[in-house]
């Protein structure tokens, strides 16, 4: 999707998915060759004006790698969902960061960590990168050394694997609602 904000020093809100698999006990992480930036990056994209961050995550996953929430677990600091009446509870990102894209344009990104048990059941959307790769951390680090993967992606995946994975709960991503809050008197 195109940038929502196009004037200098404006920020778009984005979501990222850091997806891991452990088929043979060795962690493999999902990256794709970004069509515009020509780097191996995580799955993700813009939060549109008419969607929640969690809805954006659902559409980016489906478009860019074919996953749906019923195929993924999400890493969370607690395994109990907070029940509140007048809002929709979203999962907690493992990281929020702001980075420059180009010419004084920024993305403020909500990064989520997912675990996949298998390959996605769906195909990626037409027009998306078809170069998806499941890499070991060493392969991803080597790609960064060669200049074809972003160093920050390596660092974030490494941090998730060493810091969050041992301490966080893995819960079904489908437990979080894709609904929007309903109007009501508070």
Looking at the domain assignment, is residue 90 inside a domain?
A: yes
Range of the domain at 51: 17-175
Looking at the domain assignment, is residue 2 inside a domain?
A: no
The structural domain count of the chain equals 1
Looking at the domain assignment, is residue 97 inside a domain?
A: yes
Identify the CA nearest to 27 among candidates 142, 176, 162. 162
Looking at the domain assignment, is residue 10 inside a domain?
A: no
pLDDT tens readout for residues 90-136:
999 999 998 887 777 777 999 999 999 999 999 998 888 788 999 99
Looking at the domain assignment, is residue 1 inside a domain?
A: no
Phi, psi of 133 (to 5 degrees): -135, 135
Q: Is the per-residue pLDDT at 7 higher than 70? A: no
| End-to-end CA separation in angstroms for the chain | 35
Looking at the domain assignment, is residue 181 inside a domain?
A: no
For residue 106, the domain's CATH number is 3.90.79.10
The long-range contacts involving 32-35, CB below 8 angstroms and separated by at least 24 positions, are 32/64, 32/65, 32/128, 32/129, 32/131, 32/132, 32/133, 33/129, 33/131, 33/133, 33/148, 34/129, 35/128, 35/129
pLDDT for res 91 = 97
How far is Cα of residue 61 from the mean position of the Cα atoms in its chain?
8
pLDDT tens readout for residues 143-185:
999 999 999 999 999 999 999 999 999 999 999 999 988 766 5
Looking at the domain assignment, is residue 5 inside a domain?
A: no
């Amino acid at each position: 999707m195109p940038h929502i904000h196009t004037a200098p020093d404006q920020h778009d809100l984005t979501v990222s998915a850091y997806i891991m698999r452990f088929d043979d006990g060795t962690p493999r992480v999902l990256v794709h060759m970004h069509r515009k930036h020509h780097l191996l990056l995580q799955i993700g994209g813009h939060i549109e004006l008419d969607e929640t961050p969690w809805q954006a995550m659902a559409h980016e996953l489906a478009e860019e790698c074919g996953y749906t929430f019923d195929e993924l677990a999400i890493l969370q600091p607690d395994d109990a969902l907070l029940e509140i009446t007048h809002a929709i509870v979203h999962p907690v990102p493992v990281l929020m960061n702001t980075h420059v894209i180009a010419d004084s344009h920024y993305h403020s990104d909500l990064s989520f960590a997912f675990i996949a048990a298998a390959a996605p059941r769906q195909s990626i959307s037409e027009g998306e990168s078809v170069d998806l790769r499941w890499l070991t951390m060493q392969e991803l680090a080597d790609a960064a050394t060669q200049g074809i993967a972003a160093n920050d992606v390596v660092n974030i995946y490494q941090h998730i694997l060493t810091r969050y994975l041992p301490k966080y709960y893995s819960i079904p991503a489908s437990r979080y609602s894709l609904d929007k809050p309903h109007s009501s008197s508070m």
